[in-house]
Structure 1
Amino acid sequence: MADLRPRADRWDRRDRRGQMILVGAFALAVAFVALALVMNAAIYTENLATRSESAETANAHAFHRATATMAADSFRYAHDAHSGDRDALNRSVRDSVEVYYNATRRQQAAHGQITNVSVARTNPGVNVTDTDGTFGSDSGLDDWDVATDVRQFHTFRLDVKGWPDPDSDDLQVVAGDSETWFMNVSHDGSSYTVGVNDSGTYSVCDSTITGDFTVDFAAGTVDGDDCDALDLEGVSGPYDLRFENGSVASGDYTMVVDGTAGSEVTDAQKTEILYSMEVDLVYWSPDLRYRSTVRVGPGERRG
């Protein structure tokens, strides 16, 4: 009769296999837990780094905005206090920026940041204004340079207030030379016509003006209406701004340019200014290196 009792070695093998499965399952569980811990740690570290980087970037941008506000205020204050004296204007803006830098660098250093703020450069300019007469020079010239070596302008406006002789030639404003760009004003005895020639292409801005009117080159308007042709963007600088047939019309003019006054402009008609300035700033922290330049040029329009 066969022996139906289990053999001891058979049970031993089964026990060992069960133990191995149990140990393997436990090892897998430990591995999964370790993997989860590693992934959570990586996600936490990444989130922490992102939050830190975002905070530092926000701080750098806030410092940039504060510096830009300071630069604009310093520029405006200098011209309110020292208009006409370019040396004093330069000293004023540089002193203001230095005071700001000395105050902010201590504050930023207390929080672990290193900053630097300095005036990189100032650009000289001139304000030319005549509010009593014609568009001719005070010495009697009809064709003359109002400003030279012009690259840009903040303000450029003509106020036409009269036209004594309707049969006279057109009043012209020339940028560079008449082959490149000019604006002309004509009068037929009842209304004015304003047009622009840009490299051979002539455009009429308005032909229905009957009273006093303003040509605003910075705003690009004639008598308050838009005239895209007044844009001087296509005129490469530096160029001279010239009046031709200036005595045919009476009126006023004013301009603020990145250039110099023409030789016929009198001392009473011109004021030395700073056209613009550039301020360099640096913001360094353990996690961020930020450099930028703030440019201050109120109402600036390239021309």
Structure 2
Amino acid sequence: MADVIGRRDRAQLLLAGGLALAVVLVGLALVVNAVIYTENVATREDDPAADALRGHAAIVDGAGGIVDHVNGQYVGTPYATLYGAHYDDAFVGLQSGLRTEGIARGTVLQATDSRGYEGTQIVDDTDGAFEPQYLVALGANWTVAADSRVRGFEMNVSVSGLASVDPGTVQTLLGGVTDDVFVVTVEDREGRLWQAAVYENSDTAASDLAVTVRDVQTGTYTTCSLAGSRVIVDLTAGELQSGDTRTGCPGLDFLGEATGPVTVTYGNSDKISGTYSLVVDRAAGGLRAEVNRENGVTCTDPATYSTDPANPPYALPAIYGTIVTTDYTGPGATYETETWVAPGEPGAQPQVPQVRTLSVTDQRNDTTDQAKFEVSWTAADPNAGTVNATLTVTNTVTGATQTFANRAASGTVTFLGVSGSAGDTYTFELTTSDGRYARSVTKQQDADGKQNDCGSDSNSPPSASFSYSPSSPATGESVSFDASASGDDSGIASYEWDLDGDGATDDATGVTASTTFTTAGDHDVTLTVTDDDGATDSRTRTVTVTAASGAPSVDSIGVTDQSSDGPGNSPDEIEFDVSWDVSDPDPDLSTLRITLVHVPSGSQVDTVTVGLSGGGSPQSGMNTVSWKERGVYGDDFRIELRVEDAAGNTDTSSVTETANGGAG
């Protein structure tokens, strides 16, 4: 099986501005250098704003690396488990690494994951033509993605498998009808079209892969090429890459120009050989249903995509993106921001609502000649806004329709057909809207008394998944659990919790639960979900509880006055050697800040920040604060000490001295 694309290689955590994070992932350690900042925060030359931005960049890169890694490592896993378990577990590792580095560097750098956004990864990772799952049904011209935002769209192309044509001929072919070269066509919601032909350039002596892009709106053509036996064509970054050589390709980044979701089609997919992958912002079930509809595939035909990773091309659940919050607190700077993270996305955050599930259950029995269906759905808005749903049921035999309008984002309705409708075929179109944008998913079902789409009477088991907050609770602190990421094709009937680790899920019921832990250490929490057909699934997570944090303390301050009176018009040299002792009942001492204040003016004239080792036993040291200024010898100065631990607990103490060189 060939390597899909370089995107999986880039799933390692990236470095930004000299930063690195150590992140431990389940099943794989993505480890980079252990130093998070290149500057020494204990020096006075630090730029706090730049330090905060570097920390934010590291968090964004870390979250993006986790998204790509989880999608690539756990192919075929339900979205609820991808995000609620694998991503969440890895993100906890990221948070732990940030806390450790923050303690060492005298800052507090925190990352919080707000919510993920479901998507689908479309992959063909076996070298060959870019043909659909069943070529007989669809042919070489077919829809790849329907009405979707697209990111990470890359093709790893074998140049020897391409048609050999010159760029001038390709421009002529793109302006008419071509069966000679492979073409990717993208159309956005405003009807704007772009085409990209991929071929071997016959005008060059070397084996050059060439791409000619046609912007249909402007009528312009751009061509770029790169030599190599295999070339990666990146349609979201607008680049070509062969080995270590990477070059920009003007016009190829047209996905960033498209307005909203796009439809992607392949033309002459038998004129190319290699692998490809892309991630779209639609749930897998809805994406497959819409692609099948675009391709004219009915429930009696083979599907466009497989749901088996061993039988590509497949379309399976993925994390499209996630929202993370950065909180930075350090000497001289406080920084907080919320960021959308979607690796390889050419545009802004998706805005169009998403149908996450659409389930049609045939409830007709043999004693009636009427069609009867129960239809359930769930939808979501990428901006967490309000979603309105409309379901239209159409009898394809008679053309009769019934509309269920102004429904909630999640709901269930029962449709009853007229007498004699048993055996007819129905389509169920669900349209979701947030008032500005809308998107639809259509399914087809025969009224034959069998469950799920088109006569399949199997039941898919549910998937249990839950998150908890805070991620690192202390003894006596309330811990909240949320199982809303769990999923099922027909709906979850019950949620049961084991919160005390005794093996019995009898401590709480419902989507959410909470508890407190009185002892430090690891505590297992188990969720069991049951669907409408009685199938179950369980998920156990280990919650690590720390002892409730005690406050640090400044135990002693010693001051030696080294000040001197400047001769003549020379400035006075104010200098105090400050010795100190601090302690903390917990092993999480973080920083000590020593501030010199000129009492008559109230001005802070010098500050020194010391990064502590994090140990819980008493720590001591000596630092110097100083100031040069005319006419201040003999004035009073206050030396203030502020110690802080990793939990944000603080203690302050101060002494006042007269700057007289220790004359008393």
TM-score range, shorter chain: 0.5 to 0.7
8 Å contact from structure 1 (residues 98, 118) kept in 2: no
2:182 is the counterpart of 1:171:
yes
Q: Deviations over 1:189-239 (max 9, x none)?
A: 999974221124231516999988664424433987653121212222300
Cα distance in 2 between the residues matched to 1:53 and 1:208: 46
Q: Aligned ranges for residues 147-296 of structure 1 at < 5 Å? A: 147-157=145-155, 159=157, 161-162=160-161, 168-176=179-187, 180-185=193-198, 194-198=211-215, 199-205=217-223, 215-217=233-235, 218-221=237-240, 226-232=248-254, 233-247=256-270, 249-260=271-282, 262-263=291-292, 264-267=304-307, 268=311, 269-270=313-314, 271-283=316-328, 288-296=333-341
Highest Rg: 1 or 2?
A: 1
Q: 1:171 to 1:120 in 2, by over 3 A?
A: same
8 Å contact from structure 2 (residues 52, 328) kept in 1: yes
Tell me the SS of whatever aligns to 1:273: strand
Q: Aligned ranges for residues 101-116 of structure 1 at < 5 Å? A: 101=95
Tell me the SS of whatever aligns to 2:258: coil
2:130 is the counterpart of 1:117:
no
Unaligned runs of 5+ in 1: 1-50
Q: 1:288 to 1:239 in 2, by over 3 A?
A: same
8 Å contact from structure 1 (residues 276, 296) kept in 2: yes
Alpha-carbon RMSD: 4.7
**Structure 1 counterpart of 2:186, one-letter code:** A
Cα distance in 1 between the residues matched to 2:197 and 2:142: 15
8 Å contact from structure 2 (residues 240, 247) kept in 1: yes
Q: Give 1:120 shift.
A: 1.8
Q: 1:301 to 1:161 in 2, by over 3 A?
A: farther
8 Å contact from structure 2 (residues 127, 275) kept in 1: no
Give the structure with the larger helix fraction.
Answer: 1
Cα distance in 2 between the residues matched to 1:174 and 1:92: 35
- Which residue does the alignment assign to 1:47? none
Q: Give 1:242 shift.
A: 0.4
Is the deviation greater in 56-65 or in 225-234? 56-65
Q: How many residues of Structure 1 are paired with residues of Structure 2 in the alignment?
A: 252
8 Å contact from structure 1 (residues 127, 273) kept in 2: no
Q: 1:289 to 1:244 in 2, by over 3 A?
A: same
Tell me the SS of whatever aligns to 2:273: strand
Tell me the SS of whatever aligns to 2:129: coil
- Which residue does the alignment assign to 1:129? 124
Cα distance in 2 between the residues matched to 1:65 and 1:87: 27
- Which residue does the alignment assign to 1:88? 81
Q: 1:203 to 1:222 in 2, by over 3 A?
A: farther
Is the deviation greater in 257-266 or in 282-291? 282-291
Give the structure with the larger strand fraction.
Answer: 2
Q: 1:164 to 1:93 in 2, by over 3 A?
A: closer
8 Å contact from structure 1 (residues 175, 241) kept in 2: yes
Q: 1:130 to 1:115 in 2, by over 3 A?
A: closer
8 Å contact from structure 2 (residues 127, 273) kept in 1: yes
> Looking at both structures, which has the greater relative contact order when contacts are Cα pairs under 8 Å and sequence separation is at least 6?
1
Q: Deviations over 1:165-185 (max 9, x none)?
A: 999444321101785111235
Q: Give 1:113 shift.
A: 7.9
- Which residue does the alignment assign to 2:133? 138
Q: Deviations over 1:82-117 (max 9, x none)?
A: 3332222212222343465478679979x9987753
Cα distance in 1 between the residues matched to 2:263 and 2:152: 16
Cα distance in 1 between the residues matched to 2:67 and 2:332: 33
**Structure 2 counterpart of 1:137, one-letter code:** P
Q: 1:188 to 1:210 in 2, by over 3 A?
A: same
Q: Give 1:280 shift.
A: 0.8
Tell me the SS of whatever aligns to 1:95: helix
**Structure 1 counterpart of 2:325, one-letter code:** D
**Structure 1 counterpart of 2:276, one-letter code:** T
Q: 1:288 to 1:230 in 2, by over 3 A?
A: closer
Q: 1:205 to 1:222 in 2, by over 3 A?
A: farther
Q: Give 1:273 shift.
A: 2.3
8 Å contact from structure 1 (residues 74, 97) kept in 2: yes
Unaligned runs of 5+ in 2: 1-42, 166-177, 293-303, 349-664
Q: Deviations over 1:250-275 (max 9, x none)?
A: 41231222335543122232343223
8 Å contact from structure 1 (residues 283, 290) kept in 2: yes
Tell me the SS of whatever aligns to 2:251: helix
TM-score, reference length from structure 2: 0.31
Q: Deviations over 1:122-145 (max 9, x none)?
A: 233314225344333232222211
Cα distance in 1 between the residues matched to 2:152 and 2:280: 8
Is the deviation greater in 172-181 or in 93-102? 93-102
Q: Give 1:281 shift.
A: 2.3
